[in-house]
C-alpha cells in the first residue's frame, strides 16, 4: 500500500512537470494546445536513444530531451501563430497524432531495457521509490520556482497581456509572436523533461502510450487545478493521478469490474468540474505591485485557507 | 488505364468514407455553431445510438427474413435510436454542461471528457467488449460499373448525409427555432432579453445534434462495426472534418468530411508511402489548410476588433 | 448544490475506502495469482477472455481441492494496453497483494515493460499471448504459453510455400508488435525459400477502411494474401475484399482462432487457412475446456489466447504443487517465488488444451503449430507441423 502510494507520487510528479509546461502555454499565454503527448513522446524517445543506443548517461539525456522537445515546440509554435482558439487546439492535436503515428510506423514495439539513471554510482531503481520521488519532485520544485519567477517577471506579465487581449498587448509594444512561440518552446521543453523521467522510471518507450488522451489529461490537470496557478496545476496533477490509481491503491480494482473504475474516474471529473469550474485553487491571485510585505501575504494566505476550511 | 481505374476506385472509396465522417461532423458542427463548445461526448453518443439501433433492429426483426419488414424495422430502429439519443443528449446537457454555462470555456470541455468516459465504459460494461456486426437490412451486393464497385449501403450513406445537410441547413435558416438558434449563437444574453428561451434552444440543439449522431452511428456501423470505443477515433476524425470545413458551418462539415475521406483513401498511394501513415497525411493536410485558411475552408473570417 | 456535491464526493471515497479496507483483509490460506491484461479500452476483448479462462481454471482447481490444501485466488488488474498502467498493475500485484506468480500481460508492449520488472524483482510471469521475440530475451522468470512470432511465421511461410505451393503472396498487416512480427517473419522465410512477396501493405490498429491497401495489393496480382491481424481488422479486410470483388484466398495467423470472426464476417471466411495452436489428437482437454468456458460465460467461445491462458494456469498449478512437495514456505515470499520459477522451468511435457508444452531455456514455448482450414464458418484441423532442416514436417 505504501509502495503503491509512492508510485502514485512518482507518476504525479512526472505529470506535474507536464502540467507545468501545459500551464505555460494554456494558463499563462492563453493558447489552447493539445499536443503535450507529442512533447512527452519526443522527450521519452530522446532519452531512450541517448541512454540505450548511444550509451550515454541519463544526465546528458535530460537536457537533450528538453532541447529536442523545445525545438519541436518552436517548430509547432511558428506556423500556428495564425491560429486561434479551437483551430489552434485541433492543429496541435493533429501534430500530436502525427508524432505518434510516425513513431509507431518507425517501430511499433518501441524500446526496452533502457539503462537506469545513475548518480555517483547510485542507481535510481524502481525498487527504491523514495530516491526516485526525491529525484522527480526536486525537478518539479525547480520547474515550479523557475516558472513562478517567470510568471511574475516582465515576460510573465507580457504573456498574461497576450492572453487577456492580443490587440491591446500589441499596441502596448509587446511582440505577441515572440511570447507565443516562447511559451510553446518553454512548455514543450518541460514536457520533454517529463518524458525523460517517465523513461527513466519505466525503462521502456512505447509509441502506444502517447495517445491524445494523455494530452487531454494534462489539460485536465491544468483546468482542474486552476489555470495559470502553478500550485494549482501541481495539485491538479496529483488529484488526477490519484483518482486514476485510487482503485488500485485500495485494492478495489480487482473487486469491482474494470469498467467501473473508469466510470468512477469519469464521474469524479464531472463532479469536480461542476463543484469548482474555476479549478481547485482558482486563478493565481497574485496582484502586481502588491503593497503588502511577504509576512502579511503569508498570514493572509493562511487566513483565507482557514475560512475555506470552515465553509466546506 | 488500369491505374486510372484503380485511382478512381480509391477516389470513390474516399467519398463513401468521407460521407460517414461528414454525417457525424454535422452533429459536431451543429452544437459548436450554437454553443462554441466542443462536445467531446458526441462520439460516445454516436456509439450509444449504434447500440440502440442495433438492439431495436434485432428485436423487431426477430426471425423474419421478409425484405420489406427488414427495411421497415431498420427505419423504425433508426427513429427509436434518434429519439433515445436526443433524450440522452438533452439529459447530459442538463446534468453536465448546464451548470458550467457561465464558467470558463475549458470547464465544460473537461466535463464532456468525463461524460465520454462514463458512456464508453458503461457501454463496455453493459454490452461487452466484443465488436458486433450490424446486419444489412437490404441486399448489399456490390454494384459494379465500368470496373468501379460501390455497395448499396455506401450509396445510402452518401444520400442520407446529403439529405441531412439540406434538412439541417433549411431548419437553421428557415424555421423559427432555427432563427432562435442563430440568435443564441450570436449573443446569448441579448437573445434572452428578446424573449428567446435560451435553455430550450440549447436543449433543442443538443437533441438535434445527438439525433444526428444516432443516424451517423448506425450508418457508420455498417462499415466500422458496433463496439464500445467506436466513438473515440471516429468522433475525432469527424471533428477534424468539421474543422477543415470551418466549424459551425453546415456545408463546411460536409465538404470537410469528403475531403478527409478522399485524403485518407488516395493520399498514401498517391505519395507512395505506407498506408499506415494515412493519419499523418490527413492531419498534415488539416494543418496546411488551417494555415492557409485559419478558419477552415468555408469558415467565416472573424477578425478581432478592439 | 456545490455543498451537496462535495459531500457526495467525500462520502463516495469514504464508502469505497471502507469497502476496500474490508477487501484487503484476506485469510492467509489463499495462494494469490496475478493477472495483467487490457480489461477496458479497444482491445479489452483479449484481456477479458484470457482472464476468464484463467479464472475458470482456478475455479476448477479450487473445486478439486486447491493446491496443498490452499485455495487459489486470481487477482486481475487492468493494463488498458498502456505501459503506465501495466507497471502500476504489476506494482500492486507484486508488492501489495504479494502474488506468487503473474499470468500476462496479454499484449507485447506492456509485457516488455513488466518482463523487465519481473526479471529484476524475481516474479514468475507467464504470458498467454505476447508473441514478440524480445519478450523472453531477458531469460529467467519470463515464460509464455504462446509460440513466439518467429516460430509461428517460420511454420506459416513453409506451409504456404511447400504445402500450398504459393510463390507470390501479399501481406496486409497492422503496425503493432504482433502483426508486424508475423508479417516480417513470413516475409523473411518466404523470400529465403524462393517465393516473392508482391506487396507489403500496412495499416494502423483500429483502422476500419482497408480498401486502399486491398486495391494496391490487387494491382500486384498475388496468389494469396496473408493477414496476421486482430479479429476485427481481419473481418473488415475479408468483407471489404469481397465488396471490391476480389476473389483471392486469404491466409492468417492465430489471431483468426477467435470465433468472433464468424459473427463479424461469417459470409467471407470460407477457404481461409490459418496457422494456430496445435491440438493433441487423443486428448479431450481442449473440448472439455471449450464446453466449460461457454457454459461459464454465457455461451461465449474462447480464442486460442484464452486457451493459452488456461494452460498457463494449470502449468502454474503443477509448479506450485511441486514447490509445496519440496517444502516451499510462503512465509518467505522471495524464496517461494524463486522456487516457483525453478518448477515452472522444470515443466516437462505438460499436457494442456494446446497439446504437449515444454519451455525452452529462454522461457519460450516449444510446441508444434497447427494448421486450420476454414470451411464455411467451421475451422477444420489439418494437422500439426514443425519445421525440421528447413522443410515442413507433419507431426500428426
Mutate to test the interface with C, among A10, A98, A100, A112 (most CBs of C within 10 A): A112
**C206 to chain B: closest CA residue:** B233
Q: Which residues of B121-143 are buried (b: 16+ CB within 10 A; e: fewer)?
A: bbbbbebbbbbbbbeebeebeee
Q: What's the DSSP call for residue C267?
A: G
Q: Note whether A204 contacts C9, CB cutoff 8 Å.
A: no
Q: Is residue C249 within 8 Å of C223, Cβ to Cβ?
A: yes
User: Which grid cell is C120?
Assistant: 529484476
Residue of B10, B131, B228 with shortest CB distance to C212: B10
**B36 to chain A: closest CA residue:** A86
Q: Does C135 touch chain A (CB under 8 A)?
A: no
Q: Note whether B284 contacts A94, CB cutoff 8 Å.
A: yes
Q: Report whether pLDDT(C28) > 70.
A: no
- In this prediction the ipTM stands at 0.88
* Interface chains of chain B (3 or more CB pairs under 8 Å): A, C
Q: Note whether C5 contacts A109, CB cutoff 8 Å.
A: no
* Interface chains of chain C (3 or more CB pairs under 8 Å): A, B
Q: Note whether A216 contacts B103, CB cutoff 8 Å.
A: no
Residue of B9, B133, B149 with shortest CB distance to C264: B133
Q: Note whether A206 contacts C121, CB cutoff 8 Å.
A: no
Q: For A100-119, how does the pLDDT look when each residue is reduced to its tens digit (9 = 90+)?
A: 999 999 888 888 888 888 78
Chain B residues inside the 8 Å CB shell of C212: 10, 13, 264-266, 268-269, 275, 278
The SS3 call for residue B242 is helix
Element (H, E) at B144: strand B143-145
| C residues 22..61 contacting A (CB < 8 A) | 23-24, 39-40, 44
Q: Does C216 touch chain B (CB under 8 A)?
A: yes
Domain boundaries, chain A: 2-311
- Closest by Cα among C119, C118, C34 to C79: C34
Which domains are present in chain B? 9-128+149-292 (1.10.3470)
CA distance A60 to C247: 56
Residue C124, CA distances (Å) to A278, C16, C68, C339 in order: 48, 31, 19, 10
Q: Count contacts between B and C (CB, < 8 Å).
A: 88
Q: Note whether C244 contacts B121, CB cutoff 8 Å.
A: no
Q: Note whether A4 contacts C95, CB cutoff 8 Å.
A: yes
Q: What's the DSSP call for residue C52?
A: H
* Predicted local confidence at residue C187, as pLDDT: 93
**C131 to chain A: closest CA residue:** A109
**CATH architecture, domain defined by C8-146+285-366:** 3-Layer(aba) Sandwich (3.40)
Q: Report whether pLDDT(B80) > 90.
A: yes
* Predicted local confidence at residue B260, as pLDDT: 93
Mean pLDDT of chain B: 88
Q: Report whether pLDDT(A28) > 70.
A: yes
Chain B residues inside the 8 Å CB shell of C174: 276
Question: Hey, what CATH topology would domain A2-311 get?
Answer: ABC transporter involved in vitamin B12 uptake, BtuC (1.10.3470)
Q: Give the percent of chain B with pLDDT over 90.
A: 43
User: Which grid cell is C300?
Assistant: 461465449
Q: Report whether pLDDT(A287) > 60.
A: no
* Predicted local confidence at residue A303, as pLDDT: 63
User: Was domain C150-278+369-394 assigned CATH 3.30.420.40?
Assistant: no
String of DSSP letters for A202-266: H--B-GGG--HHHHHHHHHHHHHH-TT-HHHHHHHHHHHHHHHHHHHHTT-TTTS-HHHHHHHHH
**Comma-separated ranges of CATH 3.40.50.2300 domains in chain C:** 8-146+285-366, 150-278+369-394
Q: Report whether pLDDT(C307) > 80.
A: yes
Q: For B87-108, how does the pLDDT look when each residue is reduced to its tens digit (9 = 90+)?
A: 999 999 999 988 888 887 788 8
Q: Report whether pLDDT(C120) > 80.
A: yes
**B233 to chain A: closest CA residue:** A212
Q: Report whether pLDDT(C22) > 60.
A: no
Residue A108, CA distances (Å) to B281, C146, C149, C197, C202 in order: 18, 20, 15, 21, 12
CA distance A76 to A94: 11
* Predicted local confidence at residue C351, as pLDDT: 85
CA distance C390 to A121: 49
Chain C residues inside the 8 Å CB shell of A112: 112-113, 115-116, 134
* Predicted local confidence at residue A297, as pLDDT: 61
Q: For C280-306, how does the pLDDT look when each residue is reduced to its tens digit (9 = 90+)?
A: 666 788 888 989 999 998 888 888 889
Q: Note whether B279 contacts C232, CB cutoff 8 Å.
A: no
Residue of C213, C232, C264 with shortest CB distance to B275: C213
Provide the shortest C-alpha distance from residue C264 to chain B (in Å).
5
- For C40-80, strand residue ranges (E) read 71-78
* Predicted local confidence at residue A195, as pLDDT: 94
Place of cell 462539415: B253
Mean pLDDT of chain A: 85
Provide the shortest C-alpha distance from residue B239 to chain A (in Å).
9
Q: Give the percent of chain B with pLDDT over 70.
A: 97
Residue B82, CA distances (Å) to B32, B46, B204, B221, C288 in order: 19, 10, 13, 15, 45
**C231 to chain B: closest CA residue:** B131
Q: What is the pTM of this model?
A: 0.88
Q: For A237-258, how does the pLDDT look when each residue is reduced to its tens digit (9 = 90+)?
A: 999 999 888 888 888 777 788 8
* Predicted local confidence at residue C24, as pLDDT: 44
Going by pLDDT thresholds of 50, 70 and 90, the confidence category of residue A306 is very low
* Predicted local confidence at residue B262, as pLDDT: 93
* Predicted local confidence at residue C27, as pLDDT: 45
Amino acid at each position: 500500500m505504501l509502495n503503491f502510494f509512492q508510485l502514485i507520487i512518482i507518476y504525479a510528479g512526472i505529470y506535474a512537470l507536464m502540467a507545468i509546461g501545459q500551464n505555460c502555454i494554456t494558463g499563462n499565454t492563453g493558447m489552447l494546445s493539445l499536443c503535450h503527448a507529442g512533447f512527452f513522446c519526443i522527450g521519452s524517445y530522446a532519452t531512450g536513444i541517448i541512454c540505450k543506443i548511444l550509451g550515454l548517461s541519463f544526465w546528458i539525456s535530460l537536457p537533450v530531451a528538453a532541447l529536442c522537445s523545445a525545438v519541436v515546440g518552436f517548430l509547432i509554435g511558428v506556423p500556428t501563430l495564425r491560429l486561434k482558439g479551437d483551430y489552434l487546439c485541433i492543429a496541435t492535436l493533429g501534430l500530436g497524432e502525427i508524432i505518434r503515428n510516425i513513431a509507431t510506423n518507425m517501430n511499433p514495439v518501441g524500446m526496452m531495457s533502457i539503462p537506469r539513471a545513475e548518480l555517483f554510482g547510485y542507481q535510481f531503481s524502481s525498487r527504491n521509490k523514495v530516491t526516485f520521488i526525491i529525484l522527480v519532485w526536486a525537478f518539479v520544485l525547480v520547474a515550479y520556482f523557475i516558472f513562478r519567477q517567470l510568471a511574475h517577471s516582465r515576460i510573465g506579465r507580457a504573456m498574461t497581456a497576450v492572453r487577456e487581449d492580443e490587440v491591446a498587448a500589441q499596441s502596448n509594444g509587446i511582440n505577441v509572436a515572440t511570447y507565443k512561440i516562447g511559451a510553446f518552446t518553454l512548455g514543450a521543453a518541460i514536457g520533454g523533461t517529463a518524458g525523460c523521467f517517465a523513461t527513466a522510471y519505466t525503462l521502456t518507450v512505447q509509441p502506444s502510450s502517447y495517445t491524445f488522451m494523455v494530452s487531454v489529461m494534462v489539460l485536465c490537470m491544468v483546468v482542474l487545478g486552476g489555470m495559470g496557478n502553478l500550485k494549482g496545476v501541481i495539485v491538479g496533477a496529483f488529484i488526477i493521478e490519484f483518482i486514476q490509481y485510487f482503485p488500485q491503491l485500495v485494492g478495489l480494482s480487482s473487486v469491482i469490474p474494470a469498467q467501473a473504475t473508469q466510470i468512477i474516474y469519469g464521474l469524479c471529473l464531472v463532479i469536480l468540474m461542476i463543484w469548482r469550474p474555476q479549478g481547485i485553487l482558482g486563478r493565481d491571485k497574485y496582484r502586481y505591485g502588491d503593497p503588502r510585505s511577504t509576512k502579511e501575504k503569508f498570514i493572509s494566505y493562511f487566513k483565507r485557507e482557514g475560512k475555506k476550511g470552515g465553509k466546506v | 488505364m488500369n491505374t486510372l481505374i484503380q485511382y478512381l476506385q480509391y477516389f470513390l472509396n474516399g467519398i463513401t468514407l468521407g460521407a460517414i465522417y461528414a454525417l457525424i461532423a454535422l452533429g459536431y458542427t451543429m452544437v459548436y455553431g450554437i454553443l462554441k463548445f466542443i462536445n467531446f461526448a458526441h462520439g460516445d453518443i454516436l456509439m450509444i445510438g449504434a447500440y440502440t439501433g442495433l438492439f431495436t433492429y434485432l428485436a423487431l426483426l426477430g426471425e423474419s427474413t421478409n425484405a420489406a419488414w427488414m427495411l421497415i424495422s431498420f427505419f423504425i430502429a433508426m427513429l427509436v435510436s434518434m429519439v433515445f439519443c436526443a433524450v440522452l443528449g438533452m439529459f447530459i446537457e442538463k446534468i453536465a454542461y448546464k451548470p458550467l454555462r457561465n464558467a470558463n470555456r475549458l470547464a465544460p470541455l473537461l466535463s464532456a471528457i468525463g461524460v465520454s468516459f462514463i458512456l464508453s465504459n458503461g457501454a463496455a460494461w453493459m454490452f461487452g467488449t466484443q465488436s458486433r456486426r450490424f446486419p444489412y437490412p437490404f441486399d448489399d451486393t456490390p454494384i459494379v460499373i465500368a470496373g468501379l464497385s460501390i455497395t448499396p449501403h455506401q450509396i445510402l450513406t452518401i444520400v442520407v448525409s446529403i439529405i441531412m445537410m439540406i434538412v439541417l441547413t433549411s431548419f437553421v435558416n428557415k424555421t423559427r427555432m432555427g432563427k432562435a438558434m442563430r440568435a443564441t449563437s450570436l449573443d446569448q444574453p441579448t437573445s434572452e432579453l428578446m424573449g428567446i428561451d435560451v435553455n430550450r434552444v440549447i436543449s433543442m440543439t443538443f437533441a438535434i445534434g445527438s439525433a444526428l449522431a444516432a443516424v451517423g452511428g448506425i450508418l457508420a456501423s455498417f462499415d466500422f462495426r458496433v463496439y464500445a470505443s467506436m466513438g473515440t477515433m471516429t468522433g475525432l476524425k469527424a471533428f477534424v472534418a468539421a474543422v477543415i470545413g470551418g466549424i459551425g458551418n453546415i456545408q463546411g462539415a460536409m465538404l470537410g468530411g469528403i475531403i478527409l475521406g478522399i485524403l485518407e483513401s488516395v493520399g498514401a498511394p498517391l505519395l507512395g508511402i505506407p498506408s499506415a501513415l494515412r493519419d499523418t497525411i490527413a492531419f498534415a493536410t488539416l494543418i496546411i489548410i488551417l494555415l492557409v485558411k485559419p478558419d477552415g475552408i468555408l469558415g467565416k473570417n472573424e477578425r478581432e476588433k478592439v | 448544490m456545490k455543498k451537496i456535491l462535495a459531500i457526495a464526493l467525500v462520502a463516495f471515497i469514504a464508502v469505497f475506502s471502507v469497502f476496500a479496507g474490508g477487501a484487503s483483509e484476506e485469510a492467509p490460506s489463499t495462494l494469490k495469482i496475478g493477472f495483467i491484461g487490457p480489461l477496458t479500452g479497444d482491445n479489452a476483448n483479449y484481456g477479458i477472455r484470457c482472464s476468464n479462462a484463467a479464472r475458470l481454471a482456478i475455479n476448477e482447481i479450487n473445486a478439486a481441492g486447491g493446491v496443498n490444501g490452499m485455495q487459489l485466488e486470481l487477482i486481475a488488474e487492468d493494463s488498458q494496453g498502456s505501459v503506465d498502467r501495466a507497471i502500476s498493475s504489476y506494482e500492486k500485484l507484486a508488492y501489495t497483494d504479494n502474488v506468487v506468480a503473474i499470468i500476462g500481460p496479454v499484449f507485447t508492449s506492456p509485457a516488455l515493460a513488466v518482463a523487465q520488472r519481473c526479471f529484476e524483482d524475481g516474479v514468475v510471469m507467464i504470458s498467454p499471448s505476447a508473441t514478440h521475440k524480445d519478450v523472453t530475451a531477458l531469460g529467467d522468470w519470463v515464460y509464455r504459453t504462446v509460440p513466439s512470432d518467429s516460430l509461428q511465421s517460420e511454420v506459416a511461410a513453409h506451409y504456404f510455400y511447400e504445402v500450398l505451393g504459393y510463390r507470390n503472396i501479399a501481406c496486409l498487416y497492422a503496425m503493432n508488435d504482433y502483426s508486424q512480427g508475423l508479417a516480417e517473419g513470413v516475409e523473411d522465410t518466404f523470400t529465403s525459400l524462393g517465393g516473392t512477396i508482391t506487396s507489403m501493405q500496412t495499416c494502423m490498429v483500429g483502422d476500419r477502411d482497408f480498401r486502399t491497401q486491398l486495391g494496391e495489393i490487387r494491382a500486384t496480382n498475388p496468389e494469396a494474401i496473408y493477414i496476421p491481424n486482430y479479429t476485427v481488422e481481419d473481418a473488415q479486410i475479408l468483407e471489404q475484399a469481397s465488396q471490391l470483388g476480389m476473389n483471392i484466398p486469404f491466409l492468417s495467423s492465430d489471431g483468426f482462432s477467435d470465433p468472433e470472426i464468424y459473427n463479424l464476417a461469417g459470409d467471407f471466411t470460407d477457404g481461409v487457412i490459418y496457422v494456430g495452436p496445435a491440438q493433441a489428437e487423443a486428448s479431450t482437454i481442449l473440448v472439455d475446456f471449450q464446453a466449460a468456458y461457454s457454459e461459464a460465460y454465457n455461451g461465449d467461445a474462447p480464442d486460442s489466447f484464452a486457451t493459452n491462458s488456461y494452460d498457463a494456469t494449470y502449468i502454474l498449478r503443477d509448479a506450485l504443487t511441486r514447490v509445496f512437495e519440496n517444502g516451499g514456505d510462503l512465509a518467505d515470499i522471495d524464496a517461494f517465488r524463486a522456487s516457483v520459477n525453478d518448477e515452472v522451468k522444470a515443466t516437462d511435457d505438460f499436457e494442456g488444451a494446446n497439446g504437449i508444452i515444454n519451455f525452452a531455456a529462454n522461457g519460450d514455448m516449444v510446441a508444434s503449430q497447427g494448421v486450420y482450414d476454414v470451411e464455411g464458418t467451421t475451422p477444420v484441423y489439418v494437422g500439426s507441423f514443425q519445421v525440421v532442416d528447413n522443410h515442413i514436417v507433419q507431426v500428426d
